Amino acid sequence: MAETMKKAFVTGHPIKHSRSPMIHGHWLAKHGIDGSYEAIDVASRDFADFLASMQANGYRGGNVTIPHKEAAFAGVACRDDAADQIGAVNTLWLEDGTLWGGNTDGHGFAANLDDYAPGWASNGPAVVLGAGGASRAVIHALKERGLGDIRIVNRTLARAIELRDRFGAGVSAHEMAATAELLGDAGLLVNTTALGMQGNEGLPADPALLPDNAIVNDIVYVPLETPLLAAARARGLKTVDGIGMLLNQAVPGFERWFGVRPRVTAELRALIVADLVPKS
């Protein structure tokens, strides 16, 4: 008897703009796997029921995006260490009938820098702009890679302090007014805020204040080159855009659901970058 088709999903609300089906569809075709990966819009009030029916509906697992990452964290039976540290789940899988949750955002962040700025982890101190969910994943990855001086800068100091307390030794919290001073000896600047995103143009920090060897990463990828990255490039600094984080965070989930570890290639990057261009 033929094996049942392997099924996975991405769920959020709204979800129609997700590029995850394009990423996973590319890998399914590339590896000749009889599988599917679909986008499913689930309202917050229906999310618990969706999780409960996942196995009955034939899914091996899936991705979770806004606004369900915290609900997924609470709704799974077991979590991996990254999810526990970050406090959110973006990847679900079934293991012997048990629903597991993990978080691959930190993996995606680090793998992106590995690809485009090899050796970045020895380029501290790190300044992280923003204190939201993405910031938690970035800080987790920075700590995993051994950075001992991580400076969180946020408009609301209390949120930065909350993350400082969550991640402990080596992490400090600062107001926006301290940014200029903090950049003076920083080897890595990471923007996790929405400032610079299409429709919210602006410069979250001035890369002119950074040392000549600094690396600048913006996890925003629409536009691909944000005002921060453009200013850093003009200054002659090494820059890394955010699309690679999106692509690399998808790798562990695909491997769990479909049994093959896919590669993030130039072909896949070009496919997704082309989709970022507004259609006329």
Q: Catalytic amino acids? A: 69
For residue 174, what are its two tokens? Answer: 């600062």
The closest alpha carbon to 195, from 154, 237, 239, belongs to: 154
Cβ partners under 8 Å of residue 185, min gap 6: 125, 211
92 vs 75: CA distance, rounded Å: 10
Residues 82/110, Cβ–Cβ less than 8 Å: no
Helices (H), 97-203: 105-116, 133-144, 157-167, 179-183
Residues 189/212, Cβ–Cβ less than 8 Å: no
End-to-end Cα distance, the chain: 48
The closest alpha carbon to 205, from 217, 213, 116, belongs to: 217
